[in-house]
Amino acid sequence: MKIFEILRQAEREGRTRFSFELLPPLKGETIGTIFDTIDALMPFDPACVNITYHRQDVKYIPCAGGLLERRVVRTRPGTVGISAAVAGRFGIEVVPHLICGGFSKYELEDLLIEMDFLGIENVLALRGDALKGENSFTPHPDGYNHASELVAHIARMNRGLYADAEIENCHSTCFSIGVAGYPEKHAQAPNPETDILHLKAKVDAGADYIVTQMFFDNAAYFRFIDACRTAGITVPVIPGLKPFSAKRQLTLLPEIFHVDLPADLVHAVETCTGSEDVRQTGIEWCVAQARELKAAGVPAIHFYTMGNSDNVVRIAKELF
């Protein structure tokens, strides 16, 4: 079932569903941890599982003569394969993420064709970030600079039009397309209004729904929804929540994700006595956020696990 349909059904039934995001294992590890995590969350009836896509990392390997060899490696490959394996094993909807970074439009299309052949109907279309060491995002010479272009490409495939215009009478894919939205503005956007216009361009290009970046103050989400609706964005906007889980995240989360942490949360974490205390505080904060969002009638809540899902299991036990 397409995510768009799941969301509409939830809205009709006045129900809030949930999804969660998993990272492919590091290269060389097994898929077992992914299966274990989903096993633990299945009793709470998740709407779908998202599998992130990871760009290559740049590594410098010391070699003879004190020189460094620059190697570009993907440390977490396997997004499409994992998605198919999860769908086959659990019969649950999967949403592989797809990023523009590092790919030509032909390679992106090949990945989408693979997803289509595997029966995957959902995809989250993203630009991705700059390669480590780059100052700003540089697209592949034959690729895309913004997620809206990838969305338009997928929407064309949904109409049977592929990148190689010489191929006629192509099979039409039927992807439901999700995109990212930023309640506290994307870091590179000049202002919130312009960022919303760019988000609208993704929806106009064919996105069915939006999943937000994490936020820790629901007021940011409610303001964002108002701004989206004012700008004419009518698709569902799924709030993304991350359970705060370690003291170092007080600086890491703002630095990496450009999000604000409310003073009350910062104070509660700073006065925690140990790591379990911090995790419990993060769970309680996240449960309170989710309760308010459920009461506001959101059709789904998306949980970021960042590779650590036992706290999401504890939250799901409280809420779903």
Of the pair 222, 272, the CB lying nearest ligand FAD is at 222
We find the least distance from the C-beta atom of residue 169 to ligand FAD, in angstroms, to be: 31
Whole-number Å distance between alpha carbons of 22 and 101? 20
- Stretches 59-67, 198-206, 246-254, 267-275: which one binds ligand FAD (CB under 6 A)? 198-206
Window 28-47: residues binding ligand FAD (CB under 6 A): none
Pick one of 34, 157, 180, 225: the residue that binds ligand FAD (CB under 6 A): 180
Of the pair 128, 236, the CB lying nearest ligand FAD is at 128
- Stretches 141-149, 157-165, 218-226, 247-255: which one binds ligand FAD (CB under 6 A)? 141-149
Window 213-232: residues binding ligand FAD (CB under 6 A): 213
Tell me, yes or no, if 149 is annotated catalytic.
Answer: no
- Stretches 84-92, 152-160, 193-201, 248-256: which one binds ligand FAD (CB under 6 A)? 193-201
We find the least distance from the C-beta atom of residue 97 to ligand FAD, in angstroms, to be: 3
Whole-number Å distance between alpha carbons of 196 and 129? 19
Pick one of 86, 95, 99, 312: the residue that binds ligand FAD (CB under 6 A): 99
Window 10-29: residues binding ligand FAD (CB under 6 A): none
How many binding residues for ligand FAD (CB under 6 A)?
23
For residue 95, list its beta bridge partners.
50
Whole-number Å distance between alpha carbons of 3 and 184? 24
Residue type, 192: P
We find the least distance from the C-beta atom of residue 203 to ligand FAD, in angstroms, to be: 11
Whole-number Å distance between alpha carbons of 236 and 8? 8
Whole-number Å distance between alpha carbons of 201 and 179? 11
The whole-angstrom distance between residue 15's C-alpha and the CA centroid of its chain comes to 22
186 touches ligand FAD (CB under 6 A): yes
Pick one of 18, 20, 53, 221: the residue that binds ligand FAD (CB under 6 A): 53
Q: What three-state secondary structure class fits 91?
A: coil
Pick one of 82, 86, 112, 126: the residue that binds ligand FAD (CB under 6 A): 126
Of the pair 132, 171, the CB lying nearest ligand FAD is at 132
Pick one of 139, 236, 240, 299: the residue that binds ligand FAD (CB under 6 A): 240
Residue type, 149: E
Please pick, among 13, 21, 29, 93, the residue that the annotation labels catalytic: 21
Closest CA to 317 of 298, 306, 297, 303: 303
52 touches ligand FAD (CB under 6 A): yes
Pick one of 17, 55, 105, 156: the residue that binds ligand FAD (CB under 6 A): 55
Task: Phi first, then psi: give them for residue 96, nearest 5 degrees.
Answer: -70, 140
Cβ-Cβ contacts under 8 Å for 193 (sequence gap 6 or more): 227
Closest CA to 222 of 302, 292, 316, 315: 292
What is the pairing mode between strands 67-73 and 57-63? antiparallel
Max intra-chain CA distance, the chain: 67
242 touches ligand FAD (CB under 6 A): no
173 touches ligand FAD (CB under 6 A): no
Whole-number Å distance between alpha carbons of 160 and 162? 6
Whole-number Å distance between alpha carbons of 22 and 142? 29
Closest CA to 181 of 134, 137, 127: 127
Which pair of tokens denotes residue 282? 């993060």
Binding residues vs ligand FAD (CB under 6 A)? 52-53, 55, 97, 99, 126-129, 146-148, 180, 186, 188-189, 195, 198, 201-202, 211, 213, 240
Q: Give catalytic residues, as residue numbers.
A: 21
